Amino acid sequence: MRKTPIGLFSGGVLALASLAASADTGNVTPTGFVAIFRAEVKASPNEVWQALTQLPRWWSDDHTYSGQATRMTFDPQAGGCWCERWGDGSSVEHGRVVHALPPRSLRLQGNLGPLQDLPVTGVLTFTIAMQETKTILRLTYRVAGPADAGLEKLAPMVDQVLGQQFKRLVRLAETGRPE
């Protein structure tokens, strides 16, 4: 089944209650928002980096345009594309890598899901750090645009979908399986 452009953010929402993580969507206004997720991951920074750069493996099929995350490609270096292509010649660029510093940080510019049709800027940053003996993974998605973009209405939906994907990424890093 082919998804609409909003398909990247349609479908069910998984609660983060079972994940030892924290989530925060702050500074929600008509002109922007910041979604932040943080978790202690039972894996080394290198293992977390390896999971992160296998983006199609941890992204849910429910939040793709084609209905299949396996149709996504990801090139984790500056200028690299997080793209999706499917049979009839259709394609979409979800994001472009602007910063890659293995195994510490990865940054993409991209307007995910329903944000693609809006005159906004989205910056998605993943950081991996050691705190004492614990590996900490953090996802920050900053979105800004004009007041008439209605970002305050989209922020909760974007936050929920990113939370689901973050949970899948953590599971992949810890167990080798996103589900």
Q: How far apart are CA 148 and CA 42, in angstroms?
A: 42
Measured at the CA of 174, the angle between CA 14 and CA 58, to 5 degrees, comes to 50
Closest CA to 16 of 139, 130, 113: 139
Written as one letter, the residue type at 150 is: G
Taking only the tens place, the pLDDT of each residue in 33-60 is 999 999 999 999 999 999 999 999 999 9
Average pLDDT over residues 159-170: 97
Question: Does the predicted TM-score (pTM) go above 0.95?
Answer: no
Confidence band of 109 (pLDDT split at 50, 70, 90): very high
Q: 27 falls in which pLDDT band (50, 70, 90)? A: confident
CATH architecture of 22-53+97-175: 2-Layer Sandwich (3.30)
* Structure-model confidence comparison of residues 12 and 25, the more confident one: 25
